[in-house]
Structure 1
Amino acid sequence: MMLRDAGEAVPPLAGQLAAKGYGIVDAVGTELDPVPAAIAGGWVVDLALVSPGLSASPELPGIAARLRVAWPRLPLVCLPEAAAVPGLPSLSRDMSLSEICERLDDLMLAAAEMRAEAERLHWMATGFAARVRQARLGLGHAVADAQRLLAEVRRLPGKGGPDDGLS
C-alpha cells in the first residue's frame, strides 16, 4: 500500500514496484479509513510505504494507529525521499530498485513470520484454556464424587464413627 498526502502525486517508485510484480494500492492518508475501499475486497496488506509528504504530517501517528487496528503488526516503511520517522524503517536514497525490492521482501517476510507465530501462540493459548476448563470441570466432578462417597461411608452401619479416622 502506498500512503500519501492528498496533495502529493503517486511516487514514481509505486510504478517501478508494480512493474516488478508488487500489487500497489494507492491510499490517500488523510482520507484513509481502517479498511480502505480499494482493498476491502479481501486483499492482504503486507506493507505500507509512507510518502515524503505523509512522513512529515502530524497526522501520520493517527493513520498508523488506524492501519494497525485493521492489520496488526503491519510494517510501515518510509520511502527514500521521506523524512526520518522514529520507529519506522526507511529506504535509503542510494539503494537500487533491486535493493529496495530485497529490503521490502525482507520486511514482508519478517511481518508474515510474526503473524504466523502470533497465530500459532493464539491457538496454543486457546488449547491450553480449553484444557484448563476441562481440568476444572474434572476436578469439580472428582470433588463431588469424593464428597458423595464420604457421605455414603458415613451412612454405613459401624463405619464413619469418630474413632475410625474417616470423619
Structure 2
Amino acid sequence: MGQNYDYSQNNKRRGNKLPFAMVSGALVGAVVVLASDSEERKRVKSGSSNAKNKISSYANRVKEDPQGVKDDWLGRIQRAASITKEAVQKIQEILDEQGNQLKESAQDIQNESKEMIETAKDAGDELQSVGEKASEAKEELSSSESSDHTNTSDSTDDNVTDINDKKQ
C-alpha cells in the first residue's frame, strides 16, 4: 500500500511539471524569435504599446465614469442580443417557409409518382391485351394458312395450267 501512495505522488509531481515545461518552451521560443528578427521585435513592441495605451485609456474611462461604462456595455450587450434574436426569428421564418415548400414539393412528387405508376400499369394492361390479340391473329393465320395452303396450291396449279393452255 505504501508503494501505491508513492507511485501516485510521483505521477502528480510529473503531471504538474508538464504545463510548466510547455510554458517555458513557449517563452524560450518567443525569446529566440525576438532575438533573431528585428522586424518582429518592432512589431511586438508596437503591439504591446498599443495594447497598453488602450488598456490604460479604458481604465481611465472606468475610473472617471464607472456607471457610464457599465451602461455602455449593457447597451451594447442588449443591442447584440436584440440583433441576435431578430436573426434567429428570421432564420426560423425561412426554415418554416422552406420546410412548407419542401413538404408541398414532396407531396407533389409522391402524387406524380403514383400517377406514373398507374399509367404504367394501364399501359401494361393494354399491352397485354394487344399481345393477346396478336396471339389470336397468329392462331387465326396458322389455322387459315393450313386450310388455305391446300386451296392455294390447287389454285396455283390451275393458274399454271391455264397459262400453259393459253400459250398453246
What is the TM-score of this pair, normalised by structure 1?
Answer: 0.37
More helix by share: 2
Larger Rg: 2
More strand by share: 1
What is the TM-score of this pair, normalised by structure 2?
Answer: 0.37
The structure with higher relative contact order (CA 8 Å, sep 6+) is 1
